[in-house]
Amino acid sequence: MGKAPEAAHRWFREARYGMFIHYGLYSLLGRHEWALCYERIPAEEYRQLAARFNPRELCIRDWARLARANGMRYMCLTTRHHEGFALFDTQAAPEFSSVATIGRDLVAEYVEACHAEGLGVGLYYSVGNWLDEGFVRGPQADPVGWHRFVTVAQTQLCELMMQYGPIDYLFYDGCPPPETWDAEGVNAEIRRLQPNILISSRCELDEDVVSAEGYTIADPGTTWETCLTTNSSWGYNAGDPDWKTPRQIALTLLTCAHNGGNLLLNVGPDAEGALPAPAVELLNEAGAWVHRHAEAIYGTAPHPFAYADQKLSTSRGNTAYIGLHAYHGPETTVAGIGNRVDAARLLGSGEAVDFRQEGNRLLLTGLPRAMPDPLLPVVALTLDGDPVGVPNPLLNHAKYQF
């Protein structure tokens, strides 16, 4: 199966940080994106929400501006969630779309906003559709209905690829087993229409981007991304107070960079398209940290000392960046460094840090007593060459003699 060109993978890996937006009819209910399923709302009752769907003009431009201002390099919008409501112009199911209800192609507005802010364009699409009886019954019980459901999904995916110019990233969700909707054939057509697109592996095929939902993973040796909520919900949930802290976002982003992956951080706009105030505050505070530490995030290589340092670390050339996720005051030891260290400084302030080196152990002796960054300090080390890690003999179990 074909894959995206290396240049597309390189762009994605260097971008490192993106905004995920869950927006649809569920936003009117304010009880998160699975309300239809969890509350078992009858289909016809749920469909009536479409008549009330009327987002504020330019709300999407506000999302894009917020993303760009806070260091995000790409966005990903739910063009259709499991409810089946399309935020785009579709001839496959035209009566259940934003174009039919309010005369607005929200995906077109979104793509325009991404371009205006210089952001990469990602599209989320749920293949599954809870309001399609053929999907709910399944291919064995209702082969005719299933065929109809598959035809709509395949057609809409092609519409998304043909109507909006170059698309950088397709994020799948809600996918049935790939053989039941010819996922391989659909993806081949998508690549024909969009030769540079990255496709998510969430379609259960070996595609470009490995996805981890709600957690980070060790470096799989390929392009990967974790998607994370700002509270505990993807769609707008007025009753969810469990907002993550700016430190959690900074720590997750640096962990992703350390393992060679991206962070796609989700927001759930309300019915009018406004982002909840706590989400905006969270993005702004985390974004300030990103700007202070951009040098350690964008376009960096992961785990430069081959994980021997036991820290969160990235590198660029002969500079290694060490995240002090546990801060111990004026003196901190970083072990496993096989290079001579020529200089050390704190990112953000640029302040030089005193140190001494004993073999592969680096003792940072000149750190401030109080944590120098309110979220997560990072130290930049200038090395005498490309980073080299020294394995820890206490962890090399093959050498144990019993």
Q: What is the pLDDT of residue 397?
A: 63
Q: How confident is the model at residue 400 (pLDDT cuts 50, 70, 90)?
A: very low
CB atoms within 10 A of CB 223: 21
257 Cβ contact partners less than 8 Å away, ≥ 6 residues apart = 16, 296, 297, 300, 302, 312, 314
**Nearby residues of 143 by Cβ (< 8 Å), 6 or more positions away:** none
Q: How far is CA 55 from CA 38, 58, 222, 343, in A?
A: 25, 9, 38, 52
Q: What domains lie within the chain, and their CATH numbers?
A: 6-296 (3.20.20.80), 303-394 (2.60.40.1180)
Q: What is the mean pLDDT of residues 216-224?
A: 96
pLDDT reported for residue 134: 98
pLDDT band at 183 (very low <50, low <70, confident <90, very high): very high
Contact call for residues 160 and 122 (beta carbons, < 8 A): no
Mind giving me the DSSP string for 211-244?
EEESS-----SS-EEEEEESSS-SS-BTT---PP
37-52 mean pLDDT: 97
Average pLDDT, the chain: 96
What pLDDT, on a 0 to 100 scale, did the predictor assign at position 102?
97
Burial 12-34 (b: 16+ CB within 10 A, else e): bbebbbbbbbbbbbbbbbbbbbb
Angle, to 10 degrees, between the axis of helix 183-193 and the axis of helix 143-162? 20
Task: Quote the CA–CA distance of 263 and 260 in Å, as a whole number.
Answer: 10
* pLDDT, tens only, 248-304: 999 999 999 999 999 999 999 999 999 999 999 999 999 999 999 999 999 999 999
pLDDT digits (tens, 9 = 90+) for 338-371: 999 999 999 999 999 999 999 999 999 989 999 9
> Which pLDDT belongs to residue 85?
98
Question: Would the pLDDT of 396 be above 80?
Answer: no
pTM as predicted? 0.96
**Nearest CA to 227 among 34, 87, 21?**
21
pLDDT above 70 coverage of the chain, percent: 98
Q: Which residues 6+ apart lie within 8 Å of 315 measured at CB? A: 300, 301, 304, 321, 387
Please give the structure tokens belonging to residue 230: 């700002």
Residue located via tokens 């540079």: 196
Residues in the chain: 402
Question: How confident is the model over 120-165, as pLDDT tens digits?
Answer: 999 999 999 999 999 999 999 999 999 999 999 999 999 999 999 9
**What is the model's pLDDT at position 2?**
74
User: Alpha helices, DSSP H only, in 70-105?
Assistant: 98-102
The DSSP result for 379-390, as a single string, is EEEEESSS--B-
Going by pLDDT thresholds of 50, 70 and 90, the confidence category of residue 1 is low
Query: Can you tell me the mean pLDDT for 210-226?
Result: 97
Give per-residue pLDDT as tens, 230-245. 999 999 999 999 999 9
Backbone angles phi, psi at 158, to 5 degrees: -70, -35
Q: What is the pLDDT of residue 395?
A: 85
